[in-house]
Structures are given as C-alpha cells and as structure tokens.
C-alpha cells in the first residue's frame, strides 16, 4: 500500500510540474488560476512530506529522553534538537501520552513527564 501511495504522489508531482510549466509559460492566465495552483501545490507538498516521513524508533526514543530531561514537553525544543517538523513531533507527543509517559495537558496547556 505504501509503495502504491508513493507512486500516486510521484504521478501527482509530475502532473503539478506540467501545470506549473503551462501557467508560467503563458502569462495570460488569471491570478485566480495562479493562486489556486499555488495553494494546491502547497497542500500537496505538505501532505507528501507527512505521508512519506514517519519518525523512526530512534527519533521517538530521543524525544522521550529530551522530554524526561526537561520534565515537561516542549514540542519546539524536540523539533529543533531532532530536526523534525512540528506535526511529526506533535504525533510523537500524542504517542507518549497514549503510552502513559506524559500527562494530558494541564489548564495552561503544559504536559509534564510522568516520574
């Protein structure tokens, strides 16, 4: 299933490149068409990055270690230290919460590590 999805994404990328070429080679297209294409391209790039990248076990263990050292969750800090996107770290944090490693956010939104 994953290889099929990667093939679809690759095909869609080729189609988007052809559309981009057509738009850029003909200045008569309206700004609406250019804006719609730009938004579509941004959504595609974000989706493909989220689908193709799945943080590995090492990243998760490193995230747990950082969280334990801090005593609380800092998505921004984990993201910077592991060079991961915010969404990827957020998914990691949700997994930590499900496994009981961290508490649910308190009233201020802070998640503390379970000692």
Token pair recorded at residue 72: 């609380």
Q: What is the pLDDT of residues 52-80, one digit of tens each?
A: 556 677 888 999 999 999 899 989 999 99
Question: What pLDDT does residue 56 have?
Answer: 73
SS (H, E, C) the chain: CHHHHHHHHHHHHHHHHHHHHHHHHCCCCCHHHHHHHHHHHHHHHHHHHHHHCCCCHHHHHHHHHHHHHHCECCHHHHHHHHCCCHHHHHHHHHHHHHCCCECCCCCCCCCEECC
The pLDDT of 21-32, averaged and rounded, is 77
The domain segmentation of the chain, as residue ranges, is 2-52, 57-98
* Res 1 pLDDT > 60: no
């Amino acid at each position: 299933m994953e290889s099929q999805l990667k093939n679809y994404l690759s095909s869609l990328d080729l189609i988007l490149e052809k559309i981009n070429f057509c738009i850029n080679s003909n200045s008569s297209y309206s700004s609406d068409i250019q804006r719609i294409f730009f938004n579509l391209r941004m959504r595609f790039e974000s989706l493909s990055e989220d689908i193709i990248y799945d943080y590995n076990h090492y990243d998760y263990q490193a995230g747990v270690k950082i969280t334990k050292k801090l005593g609380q969750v800092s998505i921004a800090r984990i993201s910077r230290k592991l060079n991961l996107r915010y969404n990827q770290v957020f998914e990691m944090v949700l997994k930590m919460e499900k496994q009981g490693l961290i508490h649910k956010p308190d009233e201020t939104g802070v998640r503390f590590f379970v000692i």
